[in-house]
Amino acid sequence: MGHAYTPGLRVAPETVVRRERRLPLKGDVCVARGAEVGPGTVVARCELPGNVQTVNLAAKLGVDPAAVGSTLLKPVGAAIARDEPIAEAKAMFGLVKNRVASPADGTLESVSSVTGQLLVRERPIPVEVNAYVQGHVAEVLPGEGAVVESRAALVQGIFGVGGETHGTLAIATSGPGETLGPSHLKPEHRGAVLVGGDHVSHATVLKARELGVRALVVGGFDDRDLRELLGRDLGVAITGQEDLGLTLVLTEGFGRIGMAARTWELLCAHAGRVASVSGATQIRAGVLRPEILVPLQAHAGAHASEAEGGTLEVGSFVRVIRQPWFGRIGRVVELPAELSALDTEARVRVLVVAFADDGTQATVPRANVERLAG
Amino acid sequence: MIPPESIRSILATDCGSTTTKAILIERGPEGYRLVTRGEAPTTVEAPFEDVTRGVLNAVREVEELRGRKLLEGDSILTPQRGDDGVDLYLSTSSAGGGLQMMVSGLVLQMTGESAQRAALGAGAIVMDVIALNDGRRAHEKIRRLRQLRPDMILLSGGTDGGDVKRVTEMAEIIAAADPRARLGAGYELPVIYAGNRDAAPMVQACLGARTALSVVPNLRPSLEREHLKPARDAIHELFMEHVMAHAPGYKKLMTWSPVPIMPTPGAVGLIIEKVAKRDRLAVVGVDIGGATTDVFSVFRVPESTEPDATVFNRTVSANLGMSYSVSNVMAEAGIANILRWVPFAVDEVELRNRIKNKMIRPTTIPQTLEDLVIEQAICREALRLSFEQHKTLAVGLKGKQTVRDISDVLDQTGSGATLVDLVDLGLLVGSGGVLSHAPRRAQAMLMMIDAFVPEGVTELAVDSIFMTPQLGVLSTVHEAAATEVFERDCLVLLGPCVAPIGNAKRGSPCVTVEWAPASGAASRHTVAFGQLLRVPTPEGGTGRLTATPERSFDLGAGKGKPVTRTVRAGVVGLVIDARGRRPFALPDEPAARIARLREWNRALELYPREV
């Protein structure tokens, strides 16, 4: 299999995106078809049933489970307040009265004569779904939400953490190869989607969060820092629900790796505009990648969306995506047809690449490069 | 379909999560032989969303390599006409990550775990277990269900005659989530209900209209009893009926073959079971892929009065693998456990980044020897963890009702462990890229020994080019052809491993092995504790092996008692592993550990140079 792998990430100057905005439960849709929406516009809202708390009445009152129903001070279904007495029973030959108070505000859900358990349902939790991206409502999903359509510039990252957010796109570093450090962070970046270069450290991420930066978009990040940020080792790459205080999108990978020129240029071209960002990633089936969307004001003419990748040929611009030349960029100068033995003794199809920075050449397995535009 | 005896050529594909592999088998003067293989990226996901494109690309590679026409337009040419086409085409599939399920029970450790065992046993990947006591609020569960988009949901909960309301509450959560199927929109998501029978009408009312609901008998009819077969059968049936039929391109693929497409783990399991039965051996098979690792085992039933009674077990470790799941191997094993197998210092930051980059760009390969060593270290841990899971979660797949006493009910994870008896294990078979494509076969052998820690005398083998799944499905229609190819071209015997149980001071006597090959000179080897020794053996024959452990060591016959076996020689040779068992431990001190690893690597001539 001589194909170079490409994750097929999209970097599109202009494309039409549709994003389904659904409530977790049936509720009310607040927008009509065709309505113009901003990223913060509420498109639907509902009330989720509150959490259920259990109270072991039989044990607390010292009565038989079959008898707990008669100890209730209010009927099942009644509203109750936190710390309000909800059940009562006499003990010690009627000399002592045991009382049980409600653990939460809510309603008495049910009582079991088998287990002696009382269920208290907490108050409903209001939930709102916003439009996420500026655009118009293309479709209303009755009782569930809406589909928002937007003409936008789209950059898909390779990995992200943190949920959806939006803010003004700001470029922090002078180039795609510069590291985003604490000195790049300015007070005016509060509320911004900040674009850095090849790397950001955990300390800088924390500082950005403190400053109120909504999202960081960088080439690379260390996994050790990701662990610090999440408080755990990320095993399965399903992300997007973390409550981190900001969203982090990596455009290239882990470690120090310069942002691809096309991605950098596209983001720079839209500095100052409002961007919507999602860190949600699912690597497994390739179904979900983090994204940066910059809605476009006017129709600037149709551009086909483009993905990196394509057939490798002599002259192709490539990046090595594995050691020992991880992250280095160059042009293919030779594509030998026959298999070559690696240092590992494995015999595979290779290519010879001339690196752009110093002109040196190296033999690399074809599986270890990805094609870049240019 | 052409009668088996008339079949001249067979084309078989396996659509994996990353790669579609095709093999061509032809009948020649020596019988059926593998003649060539080809592969291409699997095309089940966007932008292609048609599995047959990857199949055609893989077959096209076979065509080119063999110089034979196999395709006619965009389909496979059957039956064979002259030198063109093949008489039989068949396929297995784990594309798109296999069968991905969510299971649900009332209590995580009780019905939740039973449901998990049912799904795992059926060859599914369990994406999440949702239970009333899983610590998440209802809306968080709903969001999770929507986000994960499973292929199927198994809803269990409650013992028969027990709680009805909370089972209904779980059904309501699923109804509220209204989850969409992962592959191919526009069909109802299959949901299997295997909970409290009294709640079935309520579940039907709640889910009947919006899902493809199947109601089967309760998988946990009482606390003391687990009855998984009906749920498993339903999973298999719905997999074919719904999931496969709606996976992109599968409808077309199904028309190309007269044999139903089989899930890859099911096909591998068939072969493992057949080998165990034929050779009357306890067998463990492992297939380590990019996303998942499947472990199969056939062991004798310990308490059975029938001497040949065996139990076949299969588990799928959904998140242990060498590419998509490699990061989870690190998360579950811990970085220290990976690094203990690496005989040089590695910067942790660098290693972590490498592992994550492999996860996001899963098809890259190690270019340097050091990188290969690290990848093989990760493989050891992935295999070890998968085997641990197998030991704790495996239950019989033949509809045996597992009866547990109340202490098992309280300690669910202990169940099933007694079936895996390493001393009884006769054959350990490895499969999957990292084992099959290891540049030296000895590397595959030591990875498996380090991960599975076999005891006594065990033969080891690998699948030469990872074609067990195709041969598994072939065995359902042409067992003779499948067996011939399996023996001659698929199974590569690595050799026997002799591993005494026990520990002693390093350098003290441990075991003496006398090896008498069927042809050639006999030899005698005394091995001290802590050593690893490889005795080259002529390939292809058998030999008589007598191993005598020292008084404090056991090879299965009792301490100090010799064992004699006739074993098959392999390409690596006879490996005498006197590094200790129960426990097998590496030195804690880094310099000593590295020295020991290097010594063992040299003993097996593992790498072309010292690393």
Residue of B nearest to A25 (CA): B176
Q: Do B367 and A237 touch (CB under 8 A)?
A: no
Cβ-Cβ contacts under 8 Å, A285 against chain B: 45, 96-97, 182
Which range has the worst mean pLDDT, A188-202, B240-254, B548-562? B240-254
Q: Does A348 touch chain B (CB under 8 A)?
A: yes
- Name the DSSP class of B181: P
Rounded distance, CA A225 to CA B147, Å? 26
Across the interface, of A223, A284, A344, the residue whose CB is closest to B353 is: A223
Largest CA distance in chain B: 75
Q: Do A236 and B371 touch (CB under 8 A)?
A: no
Mean pLDDT of chain A: 88
Q: Do B365 and A367 touch (CB under 8 A)?
A: yes
- Can you give the pLDDT at residue B4? 87
- Can you give the pLDDT at residue A304? 44
Residue of B nearest to A349 (CA): B365
- Decide if A65 contacts A113 (C-beta within 8 A): yes
Q: Does B165 touch chain A (CB under 8 A)?
A: yes
- Can you give the pLDDT at residue B98? 66
Fold for the domain defined by A52-122: OB fold (Dihydrolipoamide Acetyltransferase, E2P) (2.40.50)
Q: How large is the average pLDDT for residues A271-287? A: 85
Q: What is the pLDDT of residues B256-282, one digit of tens each?
A: 988 888 878 778 888 888 889 888 899
- Can you give the pLDDT at residue A246? 96
pLDDT over threshold 50, residue B252: yes
Fold for the domain defined by A11-18+150-295: Glucose Oxidase; domain 1 (3.50.30)
Burial of residue B2, with CB atoms counted within 10 A of its CB: 0-12 exposed, 13-18 middle, 19 or more buried = middle
- Can you give the pLDDT at residue B399? 29
Q: Work out the pLDDT band at B151, boundaries 50, 70, 90.
A: confident
Residue B610 CA neighbour count, 13 Å, CB half: 10
- As beta bridge partners, residue A200 has A180, A221
**Lookup: tokens for A369:** 């490069």
DSSP-derived 3-state class of residue A273: coil
Mean pLDDT of chain B: 87
Closest CA to B294 of B382, B400, B417, B401: B382
- Can you give the pLDDT at residue A1? 44
Q: Work out the pLDDT band at B398, boundaries 50, 70, 90.
A: very low
Q: What is the pLDDT of residues A196-227, one digit of tens each?
A: 999 999 999 999 999 999 999 999 999 999 99
Largest CA distance in chain A: 96
Q: Do B353 and A26 touch (CB under 8 A)?
A: no
CA distances from B257 to B1, B21, B86, B97, B478 (A): 9, 16, 11, 22, 14
- As beta bridge partners, residue B502 has B581
β-pairing, B71-72 vs A117-122, is unpaired
- Can you give the pLDDT at residue B485? 93
Q: Work out the pLDDT band at B406, boundaries 50, 70, 90.
A: very low
Residue of A nearest to B439 (CA): A346
- Can you give the pLDDT at residue A39? 96
Q: Work out the pLDDT band at A273, boundaries 50, 70, 90.
A: very high
Q: Please give the model's pTM, rounded to 2 decimal places.
A: 0.82
Q: What is the pLDDT of residues A80-89, one digit of tens each?
A: 999 999 999 9
Question: What is the number of other CB atoms lying within 10 angstroms of the CB of residue B209?
Answer: 10
Instruction: List % helix, strand, coil for chain A (3-state, nearest 5).
Output: 15, 45, 45
- Decide if A335 contacts A312 (C-beta within 8 A): yes
Q: What CATH number belongs to A317-372?
A: 2.30.30
- Interface with A, mutate which of B367, B375, B609 (most A CBs under 10 A): B367
Please report the domains of chain B, with CATH numbers, ordered by start residue: 4-93 (3.30.420.40), 97-246 (3.40.50.2300), 265-603 (no CATH)
Query: Which residue type does B199 have?
Result: A
- Can you give the pLDDT at residue B403? 41
- Can you give the pLDDT at residue B482? 92
Q: Do B331 and A342 touch (CB under 8 A)?
A: no
β-pairing, A96-101 vs A125-130, is unpaired
Q: How large is the average pLDDT for residues B219-241? A: 81
Tell which wins on pLDDT, B469 or B248.
B469
Q: Do A322 and B359 touch (CB under 8 A)?
A: no
Q: Do B361 and A7 touch (CB under 8 A)?
A: yes
Cβ-Cβ contacts under 8 Å, A8 against chain B: 47
β-pairing, A11-22 vs A145-156, is antiparallel
CA distances from B284 to A88, B63, B431, B574, B581 (A): 60, 35, 11, 19, 19
pLDDT over threshold 80, residue B386: yes
Rounded distance, CA A265 to CA A261, Å? 6
- Name the DSSP class of B401: P
Q: Does B37 touch chain A (CB under 8 A)?
A: no
Domains of chain A, by residue range, sit at 11-18+150-295, 52-122, 317-372
Backbone phi and psi for residue B533, each to the nearest 5 degrees, phi listed first: -130, 135
- Interface with B, mutate which of A129, A256, A343 (most B CBs under 10 A): A343
Q: How large is the average pLDDT for residues B316-340? A: 90
Q: Does A40 touch chain B (CB under 8 A)?
A: no
Across the interface, of B146, B165, B365, the residue whose CB is closest to A365 is: B365
Across the interface, of B39, B45, B367, the residue whose CB is closest to A323 is: B367
Rounded distance, CA B176 to CA B164, Å? 18
ipTM at complex level:
0.83
Q: Do A158 and B355 touch (CB under 8 A)?
A: no
Which range has the worst mean pLDDT, A311-315, B301-305, B385-389? B301-305
Interface of B with A in 440-469 (CB under 8 A): 440
- Can you give the pLDDT at residue B265? 79
B421-439 b/e (C-beta count within 10 Å ≥ 16 → b)? ebbbbbbbbbbbbbbbebb
Q: Do B361 and A365 touch (CB under 8 A)?
A: no
CA torsion sign for A246, A251, A255, A259 is: negative
- Can you give the pLDDT at residue A23? 85
Cβ-Cβ contacts under 8 Å, A222 against chain B: 349, 352-353
- Can you give the pLDDT at residue A42? 96
